[in-house]
Amino acid sequence: MTVEPFSAVEVIAAKRDQRRLTKAQIDWVIDAYVRGVVAEEQMSALAMAICLNGLDTGELACWTEAMVETGEKMSFAGLGKVAVDKHSTGGVGDKITLPLAPLVASFGVCVPQLSGRGLGHTGGTLDKLEAIPGWRANLKAEEMMTQLGSVGAVICQAGPGLVPADQRLYALRDVTATIDSIPLIASSIMSKKIAAGADVLVLDVKCGSGAFMQDLVAARQLARTMVDLGQAAGILTTALVTDMSVPLGLTAGNALEVREAIEVLAGGGPKDVVELTLTLASEMLAGAGLDQADPAAALAGGQAMDTWRSMIRAQGGDPDAPLAWGREHEVVIAPADGVLSGLDARAVGMAAWHLGAGRTRRQDRVQAGAGVQLHAKPGDALVSGQKVATAWTDRPELLPRALEVLNAAITIDRVAKPTNPPAGANRPGREAASGLILDRVVF
């Protein structure tokens, strides 16, 4: 019988009493949790102690490294290309990965995107892509490498061997009110990104009502923490803090967002989606040493669309197949002349969730054609009877509650009100004229 060097109780007590955990304690408790020696209730107690008392810089680096060491580590060195990754903390209408991955890959770098599914009011990249007939998320490692070598981009599901400690801990945090902890958020994201093996990582930290981080100070702190962890692991890491008080683009829902992503790849699409796609592409390409690359030209010239079509085909999808629409829909109209002064991102996301675009539990199925289609954005003038939004679903019984939430998301005023960026917002580095980019964090 193995004699354990520590006990869970002593590690929990140390953090409860605001004492610093040693590297040996952290390495042991993460490994022992994966082995089943540390029970779920014990890790719950430790997570709560961390949520209340935090981890210092050294503890967090050790915690993240210990999580990485519980599973496989990927490497793209054999491909002969710079591997560039992007991660978003999630938001409403955030379909940026879809046009971004093929756009950046069209410049000869490889873009391995290990993505997830949606839960609650934020959509999942894999759910969106599964709206394309035949497309599959689950690839073997050799299939992923082959596709990166030939196409340059892949968006797929992470395998079970990638940071198993995080898979268990994330599920535990979800049911123990320990989600809201910057050290635990940062280590969860960065352990997976470090294990994923990219050379360059650009983080998109969302801030606003539709984001996980609603406070700009906290969003900046999370961005700074993750950049430091990435750099310490040898990954060239930068972060943008971006506004998520209003939905990105004009759609929130799976097939709806794929259509919008294709519009961007075709040289059109909503201004904010195009802007953020190009800004993130520039950051990724600069990290890969391609400072002079022109991603806008790659959209206009069709190279990004060609890479998209190849990427979708490589994963079994038909890029020409029609995308689903919900079988039922209701339109929200402006009750009087005025200006759309508010469009709450979280409420729009919740409306899409009520329509069937999202899930409550990880095993729930989503509707491909469900979601919210917007016909106006804040600042737009409206006339009485004009369409503001359309709710789509396959299940008409879902419409009343969704419409109630959607109507609550919309504010119409007689006179336009000035819109100001969140207090403390600034735009160093590559500036975005619209105010979508709130900050840029570098090492």
Catalytic positions = 87, 166, 173, 188, 192
- Beta-sheet strands, E only, within 51-166: 84-88, 111-115, 153-157
Stretch (H or E) spanning 167:
helix 164-174
Contacts (Cβ under 8 Å, ≥6 apart) of 361: none
Give yes or no for a contact between 340 and 363, defined as CB atoms under 8 angstroms apart. Answer: no
DSSP 267: T
> How far is C-alpha 435 from the chain's CA centre?
20
Crossing angle, helix 164-174 and helix 182-196, to 10 degrees? 150
Q: CA angle 188-48-119, nearest 5°?
A: 45
> How many Cα atoms are found within 13 Å in the side-chain-facing hemisphere of 378?
18
The amino acid at residue 114 is: L
CA distance 266 to 279: 17
Contacts (Cβ under 8 Å, ≥6 apart) of 66: 26, 27, 30, 31, 165
388 φ/ψ angles, rounded to the nearest 5 degrees: -110, -40
Q: Which of 48, 50, 45, 12 is nearest to 28 (CA)?
A: 12
A 10 A CB-CB count for 434 gives 12
- Beta-sheet strands, E only, within 126-232: 153-157, 200-207
CA distance 162 to 157: 10
A 10 A CB-CB count for 167 gives 18
Stretch (H or E) spanning 305:
helix 303-314
CA distance 426 to 423: 9
